[in-house]
Chain A
Amino acid sequence: MKDFRTLQILDLCKGLFERLGVDYPVMRKILAVKLTMDGRRTPTIFNQQQAKKKNKPEENGFLKSLGMYVLLSLFIIPIMLFFDNYLYQMSIFFGIVMFLVMTSMISDFSNVLLDLKDKTILQTKPVDKKTISAAKTVHISIYLFFLTAAIAGAPIIAGTIKHGLLYLLLTLVGLVFVDLFIVVLTAIIYFLILRYFDGEKLKDIINYVQIGLSITIAIGYQILARAFEFVDLSITFTPSWWHYLIPPIWFGAPFELFLNHDSSGYLVGFSLLALVMPILMMMIYSRMLPSFERNLQKLASQSGEGKRKDNRWKNWLAGIVCRSHEERVFFRFADHMMRNEREFRLKVYPALGLSLVFPFVFIFNEIRMNSYASLVASKWYLAIYMACLMIPSAVAMLKYSGKYKGAWIYQTAPLTSLAPLFSAVLKVFIVNLFLPVYLVLSVIFIAIFGWRVVPDLLVVFVSSILFTVIFSVFLKDSLPFSESFADAQQSGGIKILLATLGIAMFVGIHFAATLVPFGVWGYLILLLLITYFAWKLAYKTMWNVKT
């Protein structure tokens, strides 16, 4: 284990810790272990581009993820520079910081707050509880320090140059309180979830926050890149009661109060909340801590999950879309796997979220360039093909599973061919993952463009099924749910690029068909035939893996 510079700096405070009755050398050892382990985790923010690093020297995943946050933070700088209203500017700033710190905290740091191993491993050793909890506190503080510094560093420098030293001081104090507020808030939320639900529910919630973080960061790039266009606004703030419920505004208020010497009542009120709330919550939290620790044990115990109802509509659907009995069996199996596996959701759902959003990026562009009326008359409904872009990478993900070792079951089962498995998995992909996105988009598109686009939407749907068949080539030489996510390559950049070009070709053909009278209907019939035979062909050849 290497000697961390962070800990060398911490050594300066050795005397302080010892005066508090903490066994400093032991705490330092615990922290060294914790930091080593942090460095070996892959942060959620890298989720999409996890490369194989078997042969690379050890690199610190945590420090690398900070780079991403620094990059994101560059987009905040214009907000700090161009708004002239402190309250507004700083509220947005603290809002962004709070959001990023909180999501990152939940997605990558939950295991520190919710750690069960610590208890068995550390408390059985001759280490007193004070030292253990000091180590935990310092660990969280180190993490928060780096994270906050990465997110807020560049904007603070820019802001200080413009607004001066008092501004710097206020921001630093503000950030400390914001961090405190967030840690305690997260802990209290966990506590409440654990109080009323079981550990599985909490893990699900953490999973969805992780997915949300991935989506937000991807969309954030799109939106923040456009933030430059709005910066010329000057805003007047009229306070109303519900502003008291928005924490970022509390933390924005002191700037108006001290820098503009505006001591309106509401500003004082907000500032007081910023000061008092974190401390108050801290006190509530320390009161709750013992019962929190007790509830934490729920994470370890498997409380019997209520009996799940058999999903009637899924059974009905399996009967419709599957031809053989084996295929229906695999359909239900794949349905459960994709629905229950958190790691799979984490890898695939963000792409789903994005494919829901991307078509509108183009549509908004068109509205801004021309007008809504010209959009409605145009052929921009073809933007729905943007949603198909997720098909290749999502299909490629179908071969991975967190519990990939369970795949022996395919080999030991008395089956002659695994073709039903492949076709069932792809059908579940279409029904469970693609169809919901497609339906939502279709409804919105029909609302925008009118009923005339229905045949086009049908074409898109059939094409998507065809894409699914074509891109199932990515599953070649392996079986569904049979490989570890750790082996997921950089999702094969070139492969995905080629797939994108392929989809673009279909968009071109579709566009050409719209120029011919009844061209779309003719194209639809042609596609139906091709897709039908492509599926049959793939079933007999590509998916026909003998056991």
Chain B
Amino acid sequence: MELTSREKVIVIEQNQEIALCLKGLKKDYGSKQVLKGIDLTVQRGQIIGYIGPNGAGKSTTIKIILGLEGDYSGKVEIFGEEVTEQSVDYKRKIGYVPEVAELYDNLTAREYLTFVGELYGLDFQTADQKAQQLMKVFGLEEVYHARIASYSKGMRQKVLIISSLIHNPDLLFLDEPLSGLDANSVMVFKEILAVLAAQGKTIFYSSHIMDVVEKISNRIILINDGNIVADGSFDELKQQNHEGTLEQIFNQLTGFNEHKALAEEFVAIVQGV
């Protein structure tokens, strides 16, 4: 069927609305299959809570999207463009906070953040200015010229967060981004996420803290053993599973119901001394 030019525009616009699309994503390490076919489409402006037990394949998914892992089968599309091993430019639109605070910590915050900014294509002045202002907002202007190695855990995490946002990305991958932040900074950061999403940024939020995921995400994806086992808003999941909290849903769907028995065993051993 021949499309009219107006319809073509609509199709393109619809494509533009899709931030991320995974089709039949499979990955194995030798005999161990980590991803068993992930299909996922994410609209712009969504905050996705991406959860699952340790070893379920969460990090692997993110690493594949970021081009850190090759040798997978299936398709990854970002803003309508297919990602291959060679593609690089799509990374300009992505910000990433890794789970482990990996930084070149022999550098000062200024050196590190301008470096990252420049890699994303900002010029030095802009990157420097932005970084300094962002550090100030986080209350870190005093240590802007100090080596990251001397920072506390929370301070490093803030630097990592700044480095993931300095180039104003459209798609954010956050892996346990709140670790080490104090309660006030957590509030600021959650608010930042809400504002970013309202402006059409897409956020992929991965965490083990269910309360936070429950509150901030407007769509929750639960992955277990390499498969998506739940996908929907928190309310939808609640209805489907007849449970009250995300934590309970998580336990139910991952088939974990021994927490009471294990806790009792633990305490019994403690008291047995």
A residues contacting B by CB (< 8 A) are 1, 26, 29-30, 33, 36-37, 40-41, 116-117, 119-128
Contacts and interface: CB of A to CB of B under 8 A. Distances in A.
Given A120-B68, A124-B96, A126-B120, A36 B91 contact: no
B241 interface: no
Contacts of B92: 126
Contacts of B89: 126
B88 A127 contact: yes
A123 B66 CA distance: 8
A36 B107 contact: yes
Given A123-B68, A124-B94, 11 more contacts: A26-B119, A29-B119, A30-B119, A33-B104, A36-B106, A120-B68, A120-B98, A120-B102, A123-B66, A125-B120, A128-B86
Contacts of A120: 68, 98, 100, 102
A125 B98 contact: no
A327 to B, nearest CB: 22
Interface in B100-142: 100, 102-104, 106-107, 111, 115-116, 118-121
A37 B106 contact: yes
Contacts of B200: none
A29 B115 contact: yes
A124 B91 contact: yes
A116 B240 CA distance: 42
Contacts of B80: none
A41 B120 CA distance: 27
A41 B86 CA distance: 34
A61 to B, nearest CB: 11
Contacts of B121: 126
Given A36-B111, A37-B107, A122 B119 contact: yes
A29 B127 CA distance: 14
Contacts of B67: 123-124
Pairs A-B, 9 closest by C-beta atoms: A126-B91, A125-B119, A37-B106, A128-B88, A126-B92, A120-B102, A40-B106, A124-B96, A117-B102
Contacts of A123: 66-68
Nearest to A32: B115
**Interface-centre pick from A36, A40, A120, A124 (highest chain B CB count, 10 A):** A124
B66 A117 contact: no
Contacts of A117: 102-104
Interface string B201-220: 00000000000000000000
A374 B59 CA distance: 73
Nearest to A41: B106
Contacts of B96: 124
Contact of A119 (B68, B91, B94, B119): B68
A61 B115 CA distance: 22
B126 to A, nearest CB: 15
Nearest to A1: B111
Nearest to B89: A126
Contacts of A36: 106-107, 111
28 contacts: A29-B115, A29-B118, A29-B119, A33-B104, A33-B115, A36-B106, A40-B106, A117-B102, A117-B103, A117-B104, A120-B68, A120-B98, A120-B100, A120-B102, A121-B102, A121-B116, A123-B68, A124-B66, A124-B67, A124-B96, A125-B116, A125-B119, A126-B90, A126-B91, A126-B92, A126-B119, A126-B121, A127-B91
A124 B91 CA distance: 7
Interface in B175-197: none
A70 B98 CA distance: 42
Contacts of B107: 33, 36-37
Contacts of A40: 106, 147
Nearest to B112: A33
Interface in B144-183: 147
Contacts of A41: 106
A126 to B, nearest CB: 4
A121 B103 contact: yes
Nearest to B173: A124
Nearest to B163: A121
Nearest to A33: B115
Contacts of A126: 88-92, 119-121
A37 B106 CA distance: 6
B156 to A, nearest CB: 13
A33 B111 contact: yes
B248 to A, nearest CB: 31
A327 B90 CA distance: 61
Nearest to B88: A128
Contacts of A121: 102-104, 116
A139 to B, nearest CB: 13
Contacts of B94: 124
Contacts of B111: 1, 33, 36
A37 B149 CA distance: 12
A379 B147 CA distance: 56
A121 B100 CA distance: 11
A405 to B, nearest CB: 12
Contacts of A1: 111
A29 B68 CA distance: 21
B105 to A, nearest CB: 9
Contacts of A127: 88, 91, 119
A1 B103 CA distance: 17
A126 B94 CA distance: 9
Nearest to B164: A124
A1 B86 CA distance: 31
Contacts of A125: 91, 116, 119-120
Nearest to B95: A124
A37 B103 CA distance: 12
Contacts of B103: 117, 121
B224 to A, nearest CB: 21
The interface centre, meaning the residue of A117, A126, A128 with most chain B CB atoms within 10 A of its CB, is A126
Contacts of A119: 68
Nearest to A486: B149
A117 B115 CA distance: 15
Q: Which of B66, B98, B119, B121 is packed against the most chain A CB atoms within 10 Å?
A: B119
A81 B91 CA distance: 58
A36 B107 CA distance: 8
Given A119-B68, A123-B66, A125-B120, A37 B104 contact: yes
Contacts of B147: 40
Contacts of B115: 29, 33
A339 B103 CA distance: 29
Contacts of A116: 102
Contacts of B116: 121, 125
